[in-house]
Structure 1
Amino acid sequence: MAPRNRRRDILDAAAPIFGEDGYERASIDAIASRAGVSKPTVYSHFGGKDQLFRESVADSAQQQNEASLGAILAMDLTPDGWRESLYQLGLALADCSLSPCSVFLDRMIVAEIGRDPDIFELVQTRAVRPVHEALAGRMAMLGNAGYLHIGEPGTAARQFVVLANAELPELTVLGTQRISAEDFEAAVRAGVDTFLRAYAVV
């Protein structure tokens, strides 16, 4: 049996507690209890609540980053497959944005950015920029292949992400309510259709 990774257990416990309760109300006692470790163990790994909060945000951003990057790297860029692959990418990125990890991350940022403005830059560095850079690279490849009119790949990448997710905040009440798979797919495909009307080579 592999040895228990207590640091991982603490991070897994901390993200939902910080996301649900916010920084001020979240307690080390509650995090330790959910992680199944002692309070001194939390302090030995993270030093204190502030450092644990920062590490929790960074870890959540990293998880979101990995899932989104995987979807981008899996794109089919062939003549017969690129268009449907773009739809599938939109679905994958939107699904990542509604994951518990992403919802908790968004809640933590909104709640704590006034107290700690550096949190925004941390998430941009760990999650947002690497995803947009990878997606911009794929947009450039689609443009070079003659499938899309791409002027600035970074702009196209950001607009793709926004359009794929455009209807979901309202439909899911900011990620707090589930919707059917059919409604989810219809909303994302409508956003990708809008993107294609603007960028696809006719």
Structure 2
Amino acid sequence: MALRDRRREILDAAAPIFGEEGYERASIDAIASRAGVSKPTVYSHFGGKEQLFRESVADSAQQQNEAALGAIAQLDYSAEGWQEALYRLGLGLADCSLSPCSVFLDRMIAAEVGRDPDIFDVVQVRAVRPVQEALAGRLAMLGNAGFLRIADPVKAARQFMVLVNAELPGLTVLGTQRISTEAFEGAVHDGVDTFLRAYAAEPAI
């Protein structure tokens, strides 16, 4: 197996273990076993548990970033399709937030930010800000086209992301329980509807 592949296997194994066990309880032995590599191999790639944890958080953030940016890139700007496209975008972003990668990431941040405040900045830089900026740009284009009234696209992007995810933590018990497609789509649509009531240039149809 190539060195790059081993690194990928270790990161893939580390994220759920850190997410399930937290930093203190997670062990290099368990991560090595799940990755199918030796303990010295883990150390040779990451130096130690602290560095592996940091890189696991950064890697999870990057994966979340890529999925969300993919959803944003599909936004339709046509007069006939922009509103339905916003609903699809909301579903895409909310689906990203419920992915195993995102759930593990949220757990790691909540559990470890007090011990290591820099973890929050890592996630902001690698995942949150790039997505917010990309979404702000798309919303600004909808504003320029006359579909939305947006004075501050970055604030609008933040609010869109919050609204489409607002009901999901409670419905899924912080991502630990599955919900029906109907419940998921209903919660996201309610969030997009709230966004449109605030920002649509004309009443949403």
Shorter-chain TM range is: over 0.9
Query: 1:66-145, aligned counterparts within 5 Å?
Result: 66-145=66-145
Identity %: 79
Give, as a single letter, the amino acid of the residue that structure 2 aligns with 1:71. A
Residue 177 (structure 1) aligns with: 177
Query: 1:56-71, aligned counterparts within 5 Å?
Result: 56-71=56-71
Residue 198 (structure 1) aligns with: 198
Distance 2:40 2:169 in 1: 39
Counterpart of 1:186 in 2: which secondary structure? helix
Distance 2:91 2:142 in 1: 18
Per-residue CA deviation, residues 105-137 of structure 1 (Å, 9 max, x unaligned), is 000001000110000000000000000000000
Residue 166 (structure 2) aligns with: 166
1:195: Cα distance to partner?
0.4
Confirm whether residue 11 of structure 1 aligns to residue 17 of structure 2.
no
Give, as a single letter, the amino acid of the residue that structure 1 aligns with 2:14. A
TM-score, normalised by the number of residues in structure 2: 0.97
Distance 1:113 1:166 in 2: 22
Counterpart of 2:80 in 1: which secondary structure? coil
- Which sits farther off after the overlay, 4-13 or 14-23? 4-13
Per-residue CA deviation, residues 51-92 of structure 1 (Å, 9 max, x unaligned), is 000000000000000000011011111111100000000000
Residue 46 (structure 1) aligns with: 46
Gap regions ≥5 residues in structure 1: none
Give, as a single letter, the amino acid of the residue that structure 2 aligns with 1:74. Q
Distance 2:79 2:113 in 1: 44
Residue 20 (structure 1) aligns with: 20
Residue 32 (structure 1) aligns with: 32
Distance 1:3 1:108 in 2: 28
1:3: Cα distance to partner?
4.2
Distance 1:43 1:78 in 2: 52
Per-residue CA deviation, residues 135-193 of structure 1 (Å, 9 max, x unaligned), is 00001000000000001000100000111011111111111110000110000001100
Counterpart of 2:174 in 1: which secondary structure? coil
Moved over 6 A (4+): none
Q: Give the length in aligned residue pairs.
A: 201
Gap regions ≥5 residues in structure 2: none
Give, as a single letter, the amino acid of the residue that structure 1 aligns with 2:63. Q
1:43: Cα distance to partner?
0.2
